Structure 1
Amino acid sequence: MGVSVTLSPVEHVIALDVGGTGMKAALVAADGTLLHQARRATGRERGPDAVVEDILGFAAELAAHGADRFGTPAAAAGVAVPGIVDEERGVAAYAANLGWRDVPLRDLLGERLGIPVALGHDVRTGGLAEGRIGAGRGADRFFFVPLGTGIAGAIGIDGRVEAGAHGFAGEIGHIVVRPGGTPCPCGQRGCLERFASAAAVSQAWAAACGDPDADAADCAKAVESGDARAVKVWQEAVDALADGLVTALTLLDPRMLIIGGGLAEAGQTLFAPLREAVERRVTFQKLPAVVPAALGDTAGCLGAGLLAWDLIDSPTTPRR
């Protein structure tokens, strides 16, 4: 005779991390456990309206899956998007790589799902996760800097991430570190991300080695093998990054600098010279710990989940 087992409902939230090429999603428990994960292409080639509809449909699929699998509907949802984000109004204001402007994403998701929704900036959301449950756990002040196609930053203060008065806080990639240098799409010349992002290193190494398909990972491997051309390209990027980081730590006085993104995957090939370069530039400032990010590409989803749980825990919404 079969035995019937009744499982207790599992509280969870929906988390979405929307990127230029792909979307990562998860159902997240209150303790940060990823109960279910899924991915799909963003499909930006079909235009911004199609991307928004895909986000709504993906979230609805997750909601249905969670209710069926865990016996209770999701309590809230969090979504992280790139570009300029008005978190207070819940509006995705602008994203060059997705082509949208002034999308009321929080309201659209709320209407589709029927639950509270939080909207966040992708880097700040990843920084929130790194600060609370990742490399910065326990640090009251940290600065999270992912080195990817571009460079941005997240300023962590007492368990939250600072957005700034206009949503631009932490944009370290547009600190000018080489005045009069390479033009940047932002309109300035010599911005940090034109020298120290993964894209910038890839471009510089491709030019130096003569292989148009070479990238930053190839440069790191060449550095490890002692290639003098690679060492020069890499050190120039490290020096630019150290200049930007010391400017940031002078202003912010963090206890910890958390470095993530594609370049951080080089490990000590990056961190050994970077720590040395930062220490060499520090005078009166307190030297923070310079550490690798811990959560990898799950940081965005985990951070979106934290935003969702924060909605439930806020004074204006019922506590979970």
Structure 2
Amino acid sequence: MRHVIALDVGGTGMKAALVGADGTLLHQARRATERERGADAVVESILGFAAELRAWGEEHLGEPAVAAGVAVPGVVDEANGIALFAANLGWRDVPMRALLSERLGTVPVALGHDVRTGGLGEGRLGAGKDADRFLFLPLGTGIAGAIGIDGRIEPGAHGSAGEIGHVVVRPGGIDCGCGQRGCLERYASASAVTLAWQDACGDPTATAADCAKAVDAGDPRAVRVWQDAVDALADGLVMALTLLDPRTLIIGGGLAEAGETLFTPLRAAVAERVTFQSLPRIVPAVLGDSAGCLGAGLLAWDLLDHTAATGSSEVTA
């Protein structure tokens, strides 16, 4: 059965799949990145995992993968296939596409940014499949975004389009690792809510999910923490609406697992803030942690289509 290899590399673990041409997940697997062993060991883990997936496909599906797609965190040069920098994995300037292609036997390889790749999956196969323009926003440890336009994800001129987590929503506010103060992800990410709720309730083991449960139970401390996050998120989203005019906002990540505890006040807060902007649909992501693998598979299939159309395996963003 014709298929591609898809790898979604995270800070602590990797999700992988063999993906059919129709987006079917034919085989799935997980593995630790082993980042505690250093950047070189992480790269070797990725290469070895990909080789095992290729072997599995040959044995169980009757043929090797025809291409591979890999999504990685950090700063990514998608056009040249280089993982430029990832603080949580410790690497710089890794020629990931060339290394994977060599390990897999000259199989064509597409490289993508993890959030943009997840947005590609969610946009084509998930909550955004009927939207010509959307913004995909996973609320996890941090916040980043993927801008979807007519079935593709906009990388930007320098590969950093969609970094809405570093839009300043509270000038002079909390220090951010990017060097600014008051960034959106310091107020509305799952990790930000976790820290705020721990401070409010005095429990150092409490999580954002615990805060959401306390909101549902009517705890006024939790309601204040939650509303502060929702207000900051709404401010950031209205800024995005003004610049991008998406038809759909797709919210994913850990904070979105709170369901209507998040979406009901968020929709209201955004509606209160818009003036001339058109109000988009605000919907939860539906693919969960499969979005990255599915997106990586789509990258690989797109690469094959591009190669067939142009006769070249080089792709540009």
Per the normalisation by structure 2, the TM-score is 0.97
Q: Distance in 2 between matches of 1:234 and 1:104?
A: 42
Shift of 1:72: 1.0
Matching residue's letter, 2:40 = D
The reply to whether residue 75 of structure 1 matches residue 69 of structure 2 is no
Aligned structure 1 segments of 4 or more residues deviating by more than 3 angstroms:
none
**1:59-138 equivalent positions in 2, closer than 5 A:** 59-114=50-105, 115-138=107-130
Aligned to 1:245: 237
**1:157-176 equivalent positions in 2, closer than 5 A:** 157-176=149-168
Q: Distance in 2 between matches of 1:46 and 1:187?
A: 28
Distance 1:71 1:204, change over 3 A: same
Aligned to 2:272: 280
Aligned to 2:141: 149
Aligned to 2:310: 316
Q: Deviations over 1:173-226 (max 9, x none)?
A: 000000000000100000000000000000000000000000100000000000
Q: Deviations over 1:101-138 (max 9, x none)?
A: 00000000001102000000000000001110100002
Q: Deviations over 1:239-296 (max 9, x none)?
A: 0000000000110000000000000000000000000000000000000000000100
| Runs of at least 5 residues in structure 2 that lack an aligned partner in the other structure | none
Aligned to 2:46: 55
Matching residue's letter, 2:162 = G
Q: Is the 8 A contact 1:142 1:155 kept in 2?
A: yes
Shift of 1:316: 2.5
Q: Distance in 2 between matches of 1:85 and 1:294?
A: 26
Matching residue's letter, 2:310 = T
Aligned to 1:192: 184
Equivalent residue for 1:183, pick from 175, 179, 182: 175
Per the normalisation by structure 1, the TM-score is 0.96
Q: Distance in 2 between matches of 1:278 and 1:316?
A: 44
Q: Is the 8 A contact 1:82 1:121 kept in 2?
A: yes
Q: Distance in 1 between matches of 2:299 and 2:64?
A: 17
Q: Distance in 1 between matches of 2:220 and 2:175?
A: 27
Instruction: Report how many aligned residue pairs link the two structures.
Output: 310
| Runs of at least 5 residues in structure 1 that lack an aligned partner in the other structure | 1-9
Shift of 1:318: 8.6
Q: Deviations over 1:2-49 (max 9, x none)?
A: xxxxxxxx0000000000010000000000000000001111100000
Aligned to 2:253: 261
Matching residue's letter, 1:221 = K
What SS is found at the alignment partner of 1:313?
helix
Q: Distance in 2 between matches of 1:187 and 1:26?
A: 36
Q: Distance in 2 between matches of 1:67 and 1:175?
A: 46
